[in-house]
A and B are shown apart, each in its own frame.
Chain A
């Protein structure tokens, strides 16, 4: 049949493409697990809460980096969520469409700045500023990492919240106003509840992005493998999972336990990030 000749190369192309995509992804992830396996076999899961990380003395404890990562994420979210959501409300509910477009383009510019350039800004602008204003020995600390991360995730939060707010239909606003609700009530009782699922998945995606950022964090965080003393001290040099990988990958020999431990870091990162984006996706589609 004639269509058979037509269809055949197309089908071949499509299934070959899908096959290559699936194969390459699973090879990469398979080797991620395979090459971190020696580490888990040698030290087991208890190294997740070990407090010391000295690769040259075979001490591999992940706790300092995990605590550093969590602090950086908390600081970033504390700054970015209020700013981002209120910017979304302002631009969706107060600005005219022309200004709304401008704000959106501004956000996309912010999202387009590569992370290494944020690193430059952090290193040469934010660190001296923090050092002088807080009178510290060095500006390298978790606070700086959190501030830089908050700048980087602001666009994600704002753009997704704005989309969610814009998706609330005009009838909803009109009927709320007709019922005699004032603007604040309308915002709290109608708009935010309806837009909440979009805002939440924006926050989850932003969390995932902040978790995986490497270059900017690596330049400002100071790369010191030590638990913050006391644990809420965010003004000391610290380490995050990504900055550890970035710092030590160059010096770890391929096949050594150190290398395998770094692959373990990457595996933890990948699992948390996949869980976050899966959660965001399911929340997005079910509601």
Chain B
């Protein structure tokens, strides 16, 4: 039984490492400075002198717009949850967030295509993509902020209130100082999420080429995610394949930057918290096969 479990589990433990190493290994040949300065020679998909900088900046711009739009709204939802909502409303809000988090991103993309691109006549634009990504990350971001606010001990809030602080002062002086790392973790995770979504921006925000830097938010952009997709669909020559792997590794590096930062913040927070609580049960038996040291 033990052996069977381990055998079944081995692929699950091997895959993350294998995927990362494989992507890097494939990308190694084409990862050099010419990606940033411009390709040295032309091929069927890539013109000479074309670099990946517009794609990188396009992805980051979309992510930035999405986070800037979603952050205040998520903050308002979280404050509503912890200041005004009754138990029943809190339950309902969490259920709605879970519900909307479950809807596939491509469905949001289609809705955005109808409403923003066609009905509002925004066209294929940075603004449309940003709004759609904001809607997609909103449930994740707000539930993270709500959990961060919930972790604040109730005694602190009550003590602050009994000292006569107004709600605004409680938020500024008590909640923000103790919950900022949780909020930041949520924001970083949402940034990583916004960077990795491809399907919703495929029809609403991006074009394959011809754009280096969008003049305004009403212009289309190019992004790393959709660049990879176009290359994967049509690229058959070795150069395009190499560029696709290189783009994938750059995208992955960006995402991992944000999520690694989020994990370290979260780990620091958990350490902080457990030293505060002094977990008594840490020396008891936590696993059945292995006897933990006292």
Point out residues on A near B: beta carbons under 8 Å: 3, 6-7, 10, 13-18, 20-21, 24-25, 27-29, 31-32, 35, 82-84, 86-87, 89-96, 103, 105-110, 112-117, 119-121, 123-125, 151, 154, 158, 166, 169-171, 173-174, 176-177, 183-184, 186-187, 191, 205, 208, 211-215, 219, 242, 245-246, 249-250, 254, 262-263, 266, 269-270, 273-274, 276-278, 280-281, 285
Do most interface residues of chain B lie in helix, strand or loop, or is the interface mixed?
helix
Asked if B9 and A86 sit within 8 Å, CB to CB, the answer is yes
Q: Which of A7, A125, A187, A270 has the most C-beta atoms of chain B within 10 angstroms of its own C-beta?
A: A270
The 8 closest A-B pairs by CB, nearest first: A17-B76, A212-B104, A277-B102, A114-B196, A87-B12, A28-B111, A106-B16, A214-B199
Asked if B288 and A177 sit within 8 Å, CB to CB, the answer is yes
Residue of B nearest to A105 (CB): B263
B159 contacts partner chain A, Cβ-Cβ < 8 Å: no
Asked if B12 and A158 sit within 8 Å, CB to CB, the answer is yes
Q: In angstroms, how far is the closest chain A Cβ from the Cβ of B13?
A: 6
Q: Please indicate the chain B residues that have their CB under 8 angstroms from the CB of A123 in the complex.
A: 232
Asked if A28 and B196 sit within 8 Å, CB to CB, the answer is no
Residue of A nearest to B23 (CB): A117
Asked if B112 and A17 sit within 8 Å, CB to CB, the answer is no
B217 contacts partner chain A, Cβ-Cβ < 8 Å: no
Q: In angstroms, how far is the closest chain B Cβ from the Cβ of A277?
A: 3
A21 with B73, Cβ < 8 A, contacts A96-B290, A112-B259 known? yes
The CA of A83 and the CA of B4, in the complex, are separated in Å by: 11
Q: In angstroms, how far is the closest chain B Cβ from the Cβ of A145?
A: 15
Asked if A94 and B241 sit within 8 Å, CB to CB, the answer is no
Contact among B13, B142, B252, B281 for A87, CB-based, below 8 A: B13
B128 contacts partner chain A, Cβ-Cβ < 8 Å: no
Within 8 A of A (CB), among B65-120: 72-73, 75-77, 79-80, 83-84, 91, 94-95, 98-108, 110-115, 118-119
Q: In angstroms, how far is the closest chain A Cβ from the Cβ of B150?
A: 15
Q: Please indicate the chain B residues that have their CB under 8 angstroms from the CB of A95 in the complex.
A: 290
Q: Please indicate the chain B residues that have their CB under 8 angstroms from the CB of A113 in the complex.
A: 19, 196, 252, 255
Can you spell out 21 A-B residue pairs with CB atoms less than 8 angstroms apart? A16-B76, A17-B77, A21-B138, A24-B135, A28-B115, A32-B114, A90-B6, A107-B12, A110-B16, A114-B225, A116-B229, A117-B248, A123-B232, A124-B241, A170-B284, A173-B285, A187-B1, A191-B288, A254-B114, A266-B106, A269-B106
Asked if A249 and B203 sit within 8 Å, CB to CB, the answer is yes
Asked if A82 and B259 sit within 8 Å, CB to CB, the answer is no
A277 with B251, Cβ < 8 A, contacts A114-B198, A242-B104 known? no
Residue of B nearest to A10 (CB): B168
Asked if B168 and A274 sit within 8 Å, CB to CB, the answer is no
